[in-house]
């Protein structure tokens, strides 16, 4: 089950979806970072999958997205800084999470967060999709001691946006959203049956509905931030924690070839989901979660086994 969590970051309401199920304190906490024109809801299936396996999960809404207040952040660097503040806010290190929880946060969940949040911020894993992958990348580069691992999904560097699409996000946002929803999902196979065609149509409708729920101007802001970010390789060169890059073989938004240089600079492991598009969280949830889980197990199971006497897998 996923519950609501509200924090005060920079004097603004910051919304985070969190897992309620009991967590294994020897496993890292997972922070899922959404992409452009999206919010925490794109991670619902992944939060459920990992929470059922003992992982604590957090899925924040960036300012101006979903249920978070404030204006959308205009650059990847500012998003990375905000994620750094989120890390401090959910960790009892320093000022402590209790003083950062909004007063309207339910007491039962306030106590649960204080009880379940690990003592060391180094037990967090940032998992970012698309725009969120760049923000996560930049955050880890500046907060390396706080992060145990980094997972980039549907990533690319540079993450350039065509001038025509960028202009359309400013002049006809609804049309741009419709196009992006189409491009984000792998096309139907030539021999696709009616069930597969209907399933894709449902995913498209859900994605478009979520994107249309954001406030006007967010899409142009977000894609402009992606298009303008130039420090990806410099950030990657600073990162020493374990990294994983996950690509969809049919991704039309961030094709796998555009992630190669970033992957090489990070010295990252890689996984490709055959047949998946950019929206792989909804298209191939189980395959995506398995790829991340295998990566995390390889790096964290030795610790889990040494402290519990058994493997988490």
Tens of pLDDT, residues 150-201: 999 999 999 999 999 999 999 999 999 999 999 999 999 889 999 999 999 9
What are all long-range contacts of 212-215, with beta carbons under 8 Å and residues at least 24 apart? 212/174, 212/177, 214/37, 214/38, 214/39, 214/64, 214/65, 214/66, 215/64, 215/72
Looking at residue 23, what is its pLDDT? 79
Torsions phi, psi for 29 (to 5 deg)? -85, 140
β-strand partners of 247: 272
| CB distance 91 to 121 below 8 Å | yes
| Chain segment 88-105, per-residue pLDDT in tens | 888 754 334 444 455 455
- Give Cβ neighbours of residue 194 (< 8 Å, ≥ 6 apart): none
Instruction: Write down the pLDDT at residue 27.
Output: 87
Q: Which of 184, 140, 159, 185 has its CA nearest to residue 262?
A: 159
Whether 237 and 255 have beta carbons less than 8 Å apart is answered as: no
Of 148, 43, 36, 34, which Cα lies nearest the Cα of 87?
Answer: 148
Q: Are 16 and 110 in contact (CB under 8 A)?
A: no
pLDDT for residue 22: 74
* Cβ atoms of 156 and 247 closer than 8 Å: no
Predicted local confidence at residue 109, as pLDDT: 52
Q: Which residue in 241, 240, 261, 257 sits closest to 249, CA to CA?
A: 257
What is the Cα 9 distance to its own chain's centre?
A: 18
Query: Which run of H or E residues covers position 29?
Result: strand 29-33
Q: How far is CA 15 from CA 147, 221, 263, 274, in A?
A: 21, 20, 31, 33
> Considering the entire predicted model, what is its pTM?
0.89
What's the pLDDT tens digit per position in 201-212? 999 999 999 999
pLDDT at 1: 56
Q: How far apart are CA 251 and CA 273, in angstroms?
A: 10
Alpha carbon distances (Å) from 224 to 74, 83, 217: 8, 19, 11
Which is it for strands 2-9 and 12-19: parallel, antiparallel or unpaired?
Answer: antiparallel
Residue 94 contacts residue 117 (beta carbons within 8 Å): no
What's the confidence (pLDDT) of residue 264? 98
CA–chain centroid gap for 150, Å, is: 10
- Give dist(CA 207, CA 171) in Å, integer: 21
pLDDT in tens, the chain (313 residues): 567 899 999 999 999 999 877 778 788 999 999 999 999 999 999 999 999 999 999 999 999 999 999 999 999 999 999 999 999 888 754 334 444 455 455 544 544 554 455 445 458 999 999 999 999 999 999 988 879 999 999 999 999 999 999 999 999 999 999 999 999 999 998 899 999 999 999 999 999 999 999 999 999 999 999 999 999 999 999 999 999 999 999 999 999 999 999 999 999 999 999 999 999 999 999 999 999 999 999 998 744 443 444 444 4
Q: Which of 236, 59, 57, 55 is nearest to 144 (CA)?
A: 236
Please check whether the domain covering 2-159+229-308 is classified as CATH 3.60.70.12: no
SS (H, E, C) 68-100: CCCCCCCCHHHHHHHHHHHHHHHCCCCCCCHHH
């Amino acid at each position: 089950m996923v519950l609501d969590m509200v924090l005060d970051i920079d004097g603004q309401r910051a919304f985070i979806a969190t897992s309620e199920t009991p967590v294994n304190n020897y496993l890292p906490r997972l922070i899922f970072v959404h992409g452009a024109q999206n919010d925490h809801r794109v991670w619902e299936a992944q939060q459920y999958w990992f929470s059922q396996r003992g992982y604590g999960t957090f899925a924040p809404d960036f300012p101006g997205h979903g249920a978070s207040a404030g204006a959308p952040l205009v650059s990847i660097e500012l998003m990375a800084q905000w994620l750094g503040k989120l890390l401090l806010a959910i960790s009892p290190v320093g000022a402590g999470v209790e003083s950062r929880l909004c007063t309207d946060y339910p007491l039962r969940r306030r106590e649960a967060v204080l009880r379940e949040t690990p003592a060391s911020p180094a037990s967090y894993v940032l998992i970012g999709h698309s725009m969120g992958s760049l923000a996560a990348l930049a955050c880890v580069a500046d907060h390396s001691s706080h992060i145990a691992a980094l997972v980039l999904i549907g990533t690319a560097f540079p993450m350039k946006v065509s001038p025509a699409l960028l202009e359309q996000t400013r002049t006809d946002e609804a049309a741009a959203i419709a196009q992006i929803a189409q491009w984000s999902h792998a096309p139907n196979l030539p021999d696709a049956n009616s069930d597969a065609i209907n399933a894709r149509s449902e995913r498209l409708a859900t994605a478009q509905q979520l994107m249309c729920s954001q406030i006007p101007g967010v899409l142009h802001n977000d894609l402009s931030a992606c298009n303008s970010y130039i420090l990806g390789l410099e950030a990657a060169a600073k990162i020493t924690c374990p990294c994983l890059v996950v690509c969809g073989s049919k991704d039309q938004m961030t094709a796998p070839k555009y992630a190669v240089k970033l992957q090489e600079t990070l010295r990252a492991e890689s996984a490709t989901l055959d047949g998946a598009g950019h929206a792989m969280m909804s298209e191939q949830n189980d395959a995506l979660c398995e790829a991340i889980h295998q990566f995390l197990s390889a790096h964290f199971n030795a610790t889990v086994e040494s402290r519990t006497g058994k493997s988490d897998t």
